[in-house]
């Protein structure tokens, strides 16, 4: 059966089309009694608004652009997208997903493509905390609202949804120190600066216990290429072994780094956790079934995606209502949780 239209409702209730339209849009011009009659009839007959007609009327495309690094290889990002899809379905928005592949130029091209498509807003997990800052600001101020999630750019004056990375890194490092693993190899992405909160949390935990920060235990990987990640971690471990300063723990700053570290150590014949304990940021649902089960810092990824989409819609609606560009600046940090498993449990 075809969907009923506003004209069908008007004919059935003997009201004008204008009255039906205003009632469905909660206009103050329509009495509560009339509004209830219209809405009850619309619900009973499963009326669905014509989103295309509405979007043309208010000058919106009813679409939102989302830019992530690479959701095919990241459980964490896939979980974020689950949250985004749930919120978009509830709000009636279409989602256009693009991938930056951890490349600044690709991120810029993705932003260009979304702007050219006339999306109503953009959700962005940047390549780094500072990538394409000026251009993102320009889009936010001149085209459509931009909301950041996961990686937070401090220079962008908009809403940012992330996790308390500092506390998560601090807690993970403290756990390693508690099990007497003080020679910790910290592995992170090469585009993250020293102000990155995961780096800061790691260093703070060492400083709190007067443990010197050894620059040779800081490894920076090119996150664009997993083969390069494997090579960098492997070569770093072999070089440290050659220098007789082998670490006794690894802290991975991203899902990919943490997960691949277990396989690399196995290939090198290094026992976990006897020789090297492993912990890191990772949202994989199979962490418990790995060999050994992986200790992780887990982020509320789905909640982050859901909240980011909701906040973006708030900005879109605010601009549509006021006719002015948004001046809202807000940072929301969700809490992480530590999950201790066999990769850091010494018998």
Q: Which tens digit of pLDDT belongs to each residue from 107-144? A: 999 999 999 999 999 999 999 888 899 999 999 989 99
CATH topology of domain 165-299+338-344: Rossmann fold (3.40.50)
Question: How, if at all, do strands 337-339 and 295-298 pair?
Answer: antiparallel
Query: Would you state the pLDDT for residue 306?
Result: 96
Query: Rounded mean pLDDT of the chain?
Result: 89
Distances (CA, A) of 308 to 28, 122, 123, 163, 285: 31, 10, 7, 12, 22
Sign of CA dihedral 126, 129, 131, 135: positive
Judged against a pLDDT cut of 70, whether residue 72 lies above it is answered with no
The share of the chain scoring above pLDDT 90, in percent, equals 61
Statement: the pTM of the whole predicted model exceeds 0.75: yes
Q: How confident is the model at residue 1 (pLDDT cuts 50, 70, 90)?
A: very low
Q: Where are the chain's structural domains?
A: 6-49, 61-163+301-334, 165-299+338-344
CATH superfamily assigned to domain 61-163+301-334: Response regulator (3.40.50.2300)
pLDDT tens digits, one per residue of 33-71: 898 898 899 888 888 766 545 554 445 678 999 999 876
Domains 61-163+301-334 and 165-299+338-344 agree in fold: yes
Question: Can you say how many angstroms the Cα of residue 165 is from the centroid of all Cα atoms in its chain?
Answer: 13
């Amino acid at each position: 059966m075809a969907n009923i239209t506003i004209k069908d409702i008007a004919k059935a209730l003997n009201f004008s089309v204008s009255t039906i339209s205003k009632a469905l849009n909660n206009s103050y011009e329509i009495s509560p009694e009339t509004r209830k009659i219209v809405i009850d009839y619309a619900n009973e007959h499963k009326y669905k608004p014509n989103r295309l007609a509405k979007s043309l009327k208010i000058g919106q495309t009813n679409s939102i652009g989302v830019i992530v690094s690479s959701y095919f290889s990241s459980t964490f990002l896939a979980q974020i997208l689950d949250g985004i899809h749930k919120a978009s379905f509830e709000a009636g928005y279409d989602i256009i997903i693009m991938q930056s592949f951890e490349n600044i130029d690709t991120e810029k091209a993705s932003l260009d493509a979304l702007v050219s498509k006339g999306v109503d807003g953009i959700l962005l997990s940047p390549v780094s905390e500072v990538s394409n800052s000026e251009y993102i600001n320009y889009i936010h101020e001149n085209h459509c609202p931009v909301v950041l999630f996961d990686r937070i750019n401090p220079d962008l004056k908009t809403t940012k949804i992330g996790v308390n990375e500092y506390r998560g890194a601090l807690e993970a490092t403290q756990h390693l120190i508690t099990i007497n693993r003080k020679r910790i190899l910290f592995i992170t992405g090469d585009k993250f600066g020293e102000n990155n909160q995961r780096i800061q949390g790691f260093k703070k935990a060492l400083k709190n216990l007067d443990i010197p920060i050894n620059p040779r235990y800081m490894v920076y990987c090119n996150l664009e290429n997993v083969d390069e990640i494997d090579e960098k971690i492997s070569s770093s471990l072999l070089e440290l072994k050659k220098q007789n300063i082998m670490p006794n723990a690894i802290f991975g700053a991203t899902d990919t780094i943490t997960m691949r570290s277990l396989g690399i150590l196995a290939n090198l014949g290094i026992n976990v956790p006897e020789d090297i304990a492993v912990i890191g940021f990772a949202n994989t649902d199979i962490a418990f079934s790995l060999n050994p089960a992986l200790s992780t810092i887990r982020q509320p990824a789905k909640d982050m995606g859901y909240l980011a989409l909701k906040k973006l819609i708030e900005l879109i609606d605010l601009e549509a209502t006021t006719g002015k560009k948004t001046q809202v600046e807000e940072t929301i940090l969700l809490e992480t949780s530590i999950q201790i498993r066999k990769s850091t449990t010494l018998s």
